[in-house]
Amino acid sequence: MTSDAQDRGNDVTRNLAAFWLLGLINNSAYVVMIAGANQISAGSIGLVYLAAILPALGVKLSAPYWFHHVGYTPRMWAIAGLMAAAYWTVALSATRPCQLLGVAFGAAQAGLGEATCLAMAAL
């Protein structure tokens, strides 16, 4: 096996592992928010589900209009910031609206992360 073929094999393995890990991490905030819906808002679980779906849908529907204006690096930083904001907002707030805002941050992060990583996988 030549050096070029080995390098390509290593690149494929590295990319496969990286995209698998990014996909797993990307969906973690969404899964945690849905799993904890009863504790986030015991009386209004439907609101948690709504807050967990609408922002992601909005990002995915609007992405074709602005993705070409924003590079991958700023999007990945936004994804990381939204995930951190989601966890911190839900964990540290005592009121239902603030917790729902945290769930919405997580949903926006999941939608942006999914669309960005899928676009990167096509390159």
Q: What is the pLDDT of residues 47-71, one digit of tens each?
A: 999 999 999 999 999 999 999 999 9
Q: Are 90 and 40 in contact (CB under 8 A)?
A: yes
Neighbours of 73 (CB within 10 A): 8
- Residue 15, token pair as written in the block: 């990319």
pTM, whole model, 2 decimals?
Answer: 0.83
The amino acid present at 79, given as its one-letter code, is I
The H-or-E segment that residue 1 falls in is none
User: To which H or E segment does residue 83 belong?
Assistant: helix 72-92
Q: Which residues does the chain have with pLDDT short of 70?
A: 1-7, 122-123
pLDDT value at residue 60? 93
